[in-house]
Structure 1
Amino acid sequence: MRRYIQQELVQHCHDHRQMLFLSGPRQVGKTTLAKAMEASFHTSQYLNWDNQAHREVILRGPEAVAQGLDLDRLQTDLPLCAFDELHKYQHWRDFLKGFFDQYEDRVRVLVTGSAALETFKRGGDSLMGRYFPYTLHPISVAEAFDESPPELIRHEPSRIDDGQWDALWRFGGFPEPFVKASQRFYNRWRRLRTEQMFREDLRDLTRIQELGQVEMLAELLRSQVGQLTSYSSLASSVRVSVDTIRRWVATLESLFYCFTVKPWHRNIARALRKEPKYFLWDWSQVDDPGARAENLVASALLKATHWWTETGLGEFSLHFIRDKQKREVDFLVVRDQRPWFLVEVKSSGSAGLSESLGYFQQQTQAQHAFQVAMDLDFVERDCFEIHRPVIVPAKTFLAQLV
């Protein structure tokens, strides 16, 4: 299936000289997307580090790659060179810097990867100014029925098919299990992906030796999705130091196992400031229905904030709010350092409107405050035209995102 980000990446190649760094979890569709993009270019070359023949070309240096694309020959259009799994090459940054500096006016470059690219994006500057980062997310409600995302909000939402909604809930948003919608396939896919992440990726991309204890930590994070995180409690359970827990959690984030949602405290009296919450990239692994619902919405909001930020619409971030009186709202989306909208997730639409929504909307001056109910039927209306706290169907709210 065509992914929501594909046209943006193709347009980037036409408009900008910078390389594309496409990050995302294992099996989210990065390789498939890279190969699909080749159809948009008259000439292209796909090089996967895991392929021995391709690896030999890369190891011969930038000139060998350029020769395969005939970059010394006058061409009508700029070709595309896609590097897949290149982060497994120890000197991949130096290789890319040399290749880009020599051929930037003759080729467009796409680099896909997971942990190494995401980690590098946050530190080091040897490639500064030479790339733009993008993140490929699992399929969401909005993408399930329309792969062309809105610039910001889809003001005329469409109803997701009931079968697709059920598949997203049961099997998550990773393309293969979502499309197949088979419990037996999903069981096998999940087991294999977990083994690859905690054995191959941890072994190959980190220096961590205590793989069993990291798996134990991951299981603890999975069991407390959406709850305040106590690093000291995790350290006691796994039997390592708090500093080690922090490093291992950061590693699990860099491998796209989980992501952090931090508290927002500006202009909030007696707000919590430190304890974050963690959610999984694959919400189908969350057993508790209430926590899975919260994780599904968190994933959709993270996808939207990444998309809006990475396409240049501003600086967006995802937070939650909780104060010392234990008043809480599940999520706050911040736009250019200003609260934009609040989201409280409920399994049932019969639950009364949360008093915390109105309280924190007044505190933050957020434009919108939504109580998202998972069981309500789709309503064909723009949630974002309402500025008071309101209960909305999840199928409507999520359809307006990316």
Structure 2
Amino acid sequence: MFERLALPKIIEQLQWSPAVGILGPRQVGKTTLAKAVAADPATSMYLDLDTPQALARLANPGAFFAANRQRLVVLDEIQNQPHILSELRGEIDEDRRPGRFLLLGSASFKLLKQSQSLAGRLSLVDMSPLVVSEVYQNFEGIQTLWLRGGFPNSYQAKTTNASWDWRVALIRHFLNTDMPALGINVEPQLMHRFWRMVAHLHGQMFNASAVAASLGIAATTTGRYLDHLCDTLMVRRLEPYFINRGKRLVKSPKVYVRDSGLLHSLLGLKDVNDLLGHPSTGASWEGFVVEQIANHLPAGASMSFYRTAAGAELDVVVELGSRKLGFEVKFSSAPKVTKGFWQACEDVGVDAAYIVAPVQMGWPVQGNVEVIGVTDIPQRLARLVSH
């Protein structure tokens, strides 16, 4: 069992919120984590809403919830039964104690918020594929996580081929089964082509018109397809950081396939030699680091990137209140930054900046700038809170 980052967040939020939702793609480990939280049958129960047995027990959800008010009720695959949400609202209003419901969904809770039925009653916890801090044992292990990605079945597979086969099957199941089940009516082969195109644009600006021309569809359609992949938590859209200093700023978002293993499957990169010899190596490493940052953001912090037409650039800007940190990602054991990095640090006014590279031990560069490894990211982000 991995020490999942989401676990303490879930336990904390159950202490004050009547309903907590765990967001994450399918097969990321939500059910395993929820069953660990609800391990005592005397005080909790688990219902998989994809099974006839669970649906039978919820034939009269109001009565069922009222009869189990002293237990934590875990509802898995809640997005497939949206009518239950209105019942939850009434039940929570009747007995608004913390820790009553734990909801699991394989897609963005945007799908659950359509009725706004749980507004003010539901707190959310994001659960991503595994990140370095959850599995780190040695420096070489980081490469395995980067290559295979963080889905537990892929990361723990006995062989590289087994990991590859599992990810290929996941992609196929997602396109042919999961998306239709979520009410997303897109032709699977076309969505697969689009997703592969996003993989080739990984870490770059998303130009809807250019992608549309390549696929032979409307630009509005590509925007909708991107929304679908973001809503199902497969792709991250990173928005630009804006400052009002008369700079000509890039306004398009950057896109990343969230899981590096899925990225490599979409790009056809099966083993380490494929990965290290590919033109997308640097972009893949950047996305891997972006996910480490995203999963260790302090509460209330925001994440963006900064780029100007003149070439000033920071891969990631993290902001919390008046404090700002900059991150530049380099796939090099002896990373060097350009003039644009220093200009971006000045433009944004960062309190500190970090060059994240595949190194075991970092070193200071000058002033408030240092080279760090991926294992250092959580501690550096924690400084936003401690200062």
For residues 296 and 366 of structure 2, the distance between their equivalents in structure 1, rounded to whole angstroms, comes to 20
Partner of 2:334: 350
**Cα distance per residue 1:133-167 (max 9 Å; x no partner):** 1101122122224xxxxxxxxxxxxxx41343122
Call closer, same or farther: CA 1:115–1:386 in 2, change over 3 Å: farther
Deviation at 1:387, TM superposition (A): 5.2
CA separation of 1:16/1:398 partners in 2, compared to 1, >3 Å: closer, same or farther?
closer
Paired with 2:61 and 2:374, the residues of 1 have a C-alpha distance of 51
Shift of 1:40: 6.1
Shift of 1:208: 1.8
Return the offset for 1:81: 0.5
**Contact persistence 1:167–1:181 (CA under 8 A):** no
Q: Name the structure 2 match of 1:157.
A: none
8 Å contact kept, 2:16–2:99: no
Q: Distance in 1 between matches of 2:42 and 2:201?
A: 49
Paired with 1:40 and 1:200, the residues of 2 have a C-alpha distance of: 33
* CA–CA distance in structure 2, aligned partners of residues 266 and 193 of structure 1: 40
Task: Provide the C-alpha distance between the structure 2 equivalents of 1:174 and 1:368, rounded to a whole number of angstroms.
Answer: 32
Cα distance in structure 1, aligned partners of 2:248 and 2:242: 5
* Residue deviations 1:369-394 (CA, integer Å, cap 9, x gap): 111112x2235x8x8x9852222233
Are residues 1:32 and 2:32 paired?
Answer: yes
Q: Hey, what's the Cα distance between the residues in 2 that align with 1:11 and 1:204?
A: 31
Aligned to 1:300: 292
- Contact 2:311/2:340 (CA < 8 Å) preserved in 1? no
- Quote the Cα distance in structure 2 between the aligned partners of 1:187 and 1:102: 49
Unaligned runs of at least 5 residues, structure 2: 268-279, 383-387
Post-superposition Cα deviations, 1:241-295, rounded to whole Å, max 9, x if no partner, equal 1111111111111111101111112145424342111111211224521111001
Aligned mate of 1:227, from 183, 194, 204: 204
Residue in 1 aligned with 2:354?
370
Q: Flag the 1:207–1:358 CA change in 2: closer, same or farther, 3 A.
A: closer
Question: AA paired with 2:163?
Answer: Y
Q: Please, which runs of 5 or more residues in structure 1 have no aligned partner?
A: 72-77, 146-159, 310-314
1:319 corresponds, among 297, 300, 304, to 304
What's the C-alpha RMSD, in Å, of the aligned pairs? Answer: 2.5
Of the two structures, which has the highest relative contact order with CA contacts closer than 8 Å and spacing of 6 or more? 1
1:94 is aligned to 2:86: yes
Equivalent in the alignment of 2:274: none
In 2, the alpha carbon distance for the partners of 1:207 and 1:351 equals: 43
Q: Distance in 2 between matches of 1:238 and 1:103?
A: 52
Q: Which residue of 1 aligns with 2:277?
A: none
8 Å CA contact retained: 2:132, 2:374: no
Q: Where does residue 59 of structure 1 map in the other structure?
A: 59
Which of 261, 268, 274 is the matching residue for 2:238?
261
Return the alpha-carbon distance in structure 1 between the equivalents of residues 25 and 98 of structure 2. Answer: 30
Structure 2 partner of 1:148: none
Contact 1:353 1:391 in 2 (8 A): no
TM, length-normalised to structure 1: 0.84
How many aligned positions are there? 366
2:75 is matched with 83
Structure 1 contact 18–129 (Cα < 8 Å) conserved:
no
Of residues 293-302 and 203-212 in structure 1, the stretch that sits farther from structure 2 once superposed is: 203-212
- Normalised by the length of structure 2, the TM-score is 0.87
Give the match's secondary structure for 1:117.
coil
Partner of 2:273: none
Q: Secondary structure at the match of 2:39?
A: helix
Q: CA offsets, 1:301-336, max 9 Å, x none?
A: 11123xx23xxxxx2111111111123221111213
Contact kept in structure 1, 2:184 and 2:228, CA below 8 Å = no
* CA gap 1:130/1:8 in 2 versus in 1, 3 angstroms: same
